[in-house]
Amino acid sequence: MLPTNRGRPQQRPPPPRSWSFLSEMVDFSDPKRRPRYLTKLVMAALLTAMCVLMLTQPPCHRRASPSVFSTRQPGVTHVLLTGGAGYIGSHAALRLLKDSFRVTIVDNLSRGNIGAIKVLQNLFPEPGRLQFIQADLGDPKAVNRIFAENAFDAVMHFAAVAYVGESTLEPLRYYHNITANTLVVLEAMATHNVKTLIYSSTCATYGEPDKMPITEETPQFPINPYGKAKKMAEDIILDFSKSKKADMAVMILRYFNVIGSDPEGRLGEAPRPELREHGRISGACFDAALGIIPGLKVRLTTAIVAQFFCQKAVCFGSFFTYILCSLACSKS
C-alpha cells in the first residue's frame, strides 16, 4: 500500500527576494542614465538640508508687514528702538507710538520682558505701526541685515546691561555689551545713511563730583565699569558725529534713577528675579513694602539732608517721595 499524507502538503520556502528590480529601475551601469539620477539625489539632499536648517533656526524676525517698514512714508518717522523690551525702552516705545511714530523694536530679551512687547502689540495692532525683531546687537551681520531691510529715520539706543554692582563682577561683559555694541550700531547707521541718534547714557559717567548740583558741564570721571563703558560709548558717538563723513545729529541722555510707570498701569518695571541682588532703589522699596526684606537703610551724610527730605516735597514722579521721607526721618 502506498503511504498517504493526510496533512497539508509541505510548501517550499519562498526563494530569496531579488533586488534586481532596482538595477532595472536605476541602471547605474548605463552612462546615459547615471548623471540624471545623481543630479536628482544631490538636489534631494540639498532640499532636505535646507528644510532642516529652516526648522532648527529660531525665528528672529516678527514683523507685521515687511514692505511697509522697508519703505519711507511721507510724514511718518520710522524709529529703530534698541532695548525696547526693557523698562525705559518700552515706555519710550509707548510714547512714540502714541505720537504716531512708526517703531521697530530690537531686543535680545536677555534682560527685557516679552510681556511689554505683547502689551504694545495689543495697544497698536494696526499694520505698519510696530514690529518686533529679536536679535543681538553683538551680531554685526544681524544688525546690518536689520538696517538693510528697514527704512529707518532715527535710532534710539537703549539696549544695555545696567547694574553697577554687576559691572564690577563682570567688567568685560559690560564693555562688550555697552561699548562694543554701540560701535556696531554706529557702523550700521553709517552704512545705511541714518543721521539721527538718541543715546541712553547714565549719571554714572559723572562718578563722584566735587560740586553739586550736577549739570551737563560737570566733568565726567566714572568710577565703575558700567559708567566707564557708557563714557567710552559717549566719546565714540561724539567723535563720529563730528566727522564730515557722519554729519550726524546726536542727543545723549544722562539720567539718574528712573522710577515710575505708565500712568494707566499698562507698563512698569519688571526686573528678573535673578537680578534682585543687583537691585535699584525702586525694587528695594517694593521689597521692603512687601516684607521680602526687613527694611531699607538710607545713608545720609548730614542732618541738613535729612531735614530736606523730611520737610520739603520732592517730586520723583510717584509715591516714593513719601517712602524716602519717612525712611530719612527714621534714620536722622
DSSP string, 48-108: HHHHHHHHHSPP-EE-S-HHHHTS--TT--EEEEETTTSHHHHHHHHHHHHTT-EEEEEE-
Q: Which residues of 4-43 are buried (b: 16+ CB within 10 A; e: fewer)?
A: eeeeeeeeeeeeeeeeeeeeeeeeeeeeeeeeeeeeeeee
Residue 225 contacts residue 171 (beta carbons within 8 Å): yes
**CA 61 from centroid of its chain's CA atoms:** 13
Degrees to nearest 5, angle at CA 89 with 84 and 92 = 115
Residue 16's SS3 state is coil
Q: What does the alpha-carbon distance between residue 177 and residue 210 come to, in Å, rounded to a whole number?
A: 30
What grid cell was written down for 121?
502689540
What is the pairing mode between strands 196-200 and 102-107?
A: unpaired
Q: Which residues pair with 130 in a beta bridge?
A: 103
Residue 147's SS3 state is helix
> What is the residue whose three cell numbers read 548740583?
213
Degrees to nearest 5, angle at CA 178 with 177 and 179 = 110
> What is the residue whose three cell numbers read 550736577?
214
Q: Which residues carry out catalysis?
A: 226
Phi, psi of 65 (to 5 degrees): -155, 100
